[in-house]
């Protein structure tokens, strides 16, 4: 079993990283070479902007290459609850932002000819308890009125056509959702940005910033110092001490994933005949899909801990047991890959994007990062060009989280809280 992400192990190398000395200045410096930073870099470079991307490790080496490879529409929230909090018009607008995000990923794949097995598979949200199905019924009623008519409610008796498991009590099908090979997509996005003139520096960890005036900053990193007219922070859960404002507003939560050996077509048909993305309704739930080479990619919050080789392996064993509870027909199947990553969670699970102390930023995708990172990277390119109204999250308040919540020792307590919620509800 490889303790490395399947997506990164099976993606091509990024061949266009900048090897020259860091320039003395640029129009825009982007901190973070994940999907947000790369999408912003491509959009800005297409506008003729001089862009430098500073990535602490390798492009898409953090959360952008360590997820489940889902590209789903639909909010993480109960739509009715969000409508009560933000108002029905705002809830509807945010829902459609997630639709637009999936559309934009598909368009970029076509525009840049990125070989990443993008497919409009659809997503099935699976009720882990009978009362969860009642919630899905209410959600479907609300969505079908005037938000998303392209959904379908499936009672338990009809669920076998989608997922062959006795563990669920019905589901809600979102037809606009998609899947892709996120490693190949991320490398393709980086290569496209480089072709347009963006300079991408790997192994360039940012250690400090000095504000000069307005939006101008001096950025210090392990490869040197440069001055930028504008800076975009696109670091997510990997935000370090050099950016304390953002570090205090993100809760980094580990998410862990396993990938089986390649399955036969008969085995795939026996578990997920429609080959959609699947998610469950528990707070500590699971998500899964079939890879382009017919592996089952199965993930979840197996443990509330950070990622490390030992932690990943422990989490992988928990995930394998859960996978076999859902799909006992896979007994004896080898686990070929096991890996972990960090989600950048906000307290209300809505992304945050805007401008703070002259810095532009976008992060906090809370488990919906593949599509929203790409979409928001382009949105922030627009915002830096003076089109602030393009940002659907521009006026959301963002108070800091309590200090313990951002510490690794506090994560098991968060996990215990959500386990209790899953038990009682």
Domain ranges of the chain: 6-415
Pairing of strands 251-260, 335-345: antiparallel
Domain 6-415: homologous superfamily in CATH:
FAD/NAD(P)-binding domain (3.50.50.60)
Q: pLDDT by residue for the chain (425 residues), tens digit each?
A: 999 999 999 999 999 999 999 999 999 999 999 999 999 999 999 999 999 999 999 999 999 999 999 999 998 778 888 888 899 999 999 999 999 999 999 999 999 999 999 999 999 999 999 999 999 999 999 999 989 999 999 999 999 999 999 999 999 999 999 999 999 999 999 999 999 999 999 999 999 999 999 999 999 999 999 999 999 999 998 898 899 999 999 988 888 999 999 999 999 999 999 999 999 998 678 999 999 999 999 999 756 666 788 888 999 999 999 999 999 999 999 999 999 988 888 988 899 999 999 999 999 998 889 999 999 999 999 999 999 999 999 999 999 987 655 555 555 555 554 554 555 56
Q: What's the CA angle centered on 183, arms 171 and 320, to 5 degrees?
A: 50
- Which run of H or of E encompasses 226? strand 224-233
Angle between helices 88-111 and 79-86 (to 10 degrees): 120
Three-state DSSP state, 99: helix
- Dist. CA 61–CA 8, nearest whole Å: 7
- Dist. CA 309–CA 320, nearest whole Å: 16
């Amino acid at each position: 079993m490889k303790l490395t992400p399947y997506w990164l192990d099976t993606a091509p190398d990024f061949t266009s990283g900048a090897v020259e000395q860091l320039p003395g200045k640029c129009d825009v410096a982007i901190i973070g070479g994940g999907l947000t930073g790369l999408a912003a870099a491509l959009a800005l470079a297409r506008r003729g902007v001089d862009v430098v991307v500073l990535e602490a490790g390798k492009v898409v080496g953090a959360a952008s290459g360590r997820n489940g490879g889902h590209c789903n529409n639909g909010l993480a929230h109960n739509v009715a609850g969000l409508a009560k909090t933000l108002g029905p018009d705002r809830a509807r607008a945010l829902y459609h932002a997630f639709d637009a995000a999936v559309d934009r990923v598909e368009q970029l794949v076509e525009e840049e000819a990125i070989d990443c097995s993008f497919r409009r598979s659809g997503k099935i949200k699976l009720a882990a308890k009978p009362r969860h199905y009642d919630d899905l019924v209410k959600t479907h009623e609300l969505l079908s009125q005037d938000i998303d008519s392209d959904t379908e409610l499936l009672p338990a008796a009809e669920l076998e056509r989608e997922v062959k498991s006795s563990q669920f009590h019905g589901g809600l099908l979102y037809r606009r959702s998609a899947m892709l090979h996120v490693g190949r997509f991320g490398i393709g996005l980086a290569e496209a940005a480089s072709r347009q003139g963006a300079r991408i520096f790997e192994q360039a960890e940012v250690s400090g910033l000095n504000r000069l005036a307005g939006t101008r900053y001096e950025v210090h990193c392990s490869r040197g110092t440069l001055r930028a007219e504008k800076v975009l922070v696109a670091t997510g859960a990997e935000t370090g001490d050099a950016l304390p404002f953002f570090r205090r507003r993100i809760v980094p939560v580990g998410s862990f994933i396993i990938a089986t050996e390649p399955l036969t077509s008969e085995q795939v048909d026996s578990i997920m005949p429609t080959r959609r993305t699947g998610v469950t309704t528990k707070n500590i739930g699971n998500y899964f899909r079939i890879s382009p080479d017919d592996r089952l990619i199965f993930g979840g919050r197996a443990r509330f801990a950070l990622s490390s080789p030992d932690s990943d392996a422990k989490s992988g064993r928990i995930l394998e047991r859960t996978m076999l509870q859902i799909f006992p027909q896979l007994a004896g199947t080898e686990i070929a890959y096991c890996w972990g990553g960090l989600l950048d969670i906000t307290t209300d699970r809505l992304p945050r994007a805007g401008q703070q102390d002259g810095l532009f930023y976008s992060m906090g995708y809370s488990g919906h990062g593949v599509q929203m990172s790409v979409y928001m990277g382009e949105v922030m390119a627009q915002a830096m060009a003076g089109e602030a109204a393009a940002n659907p999250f521009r006026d959301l308040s963002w108070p800091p989280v309590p200090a313990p919540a951002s510490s690794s020792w506090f994560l098991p307590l968060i996990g215990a809280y959500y386990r209790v919620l899953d038990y009682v509800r």
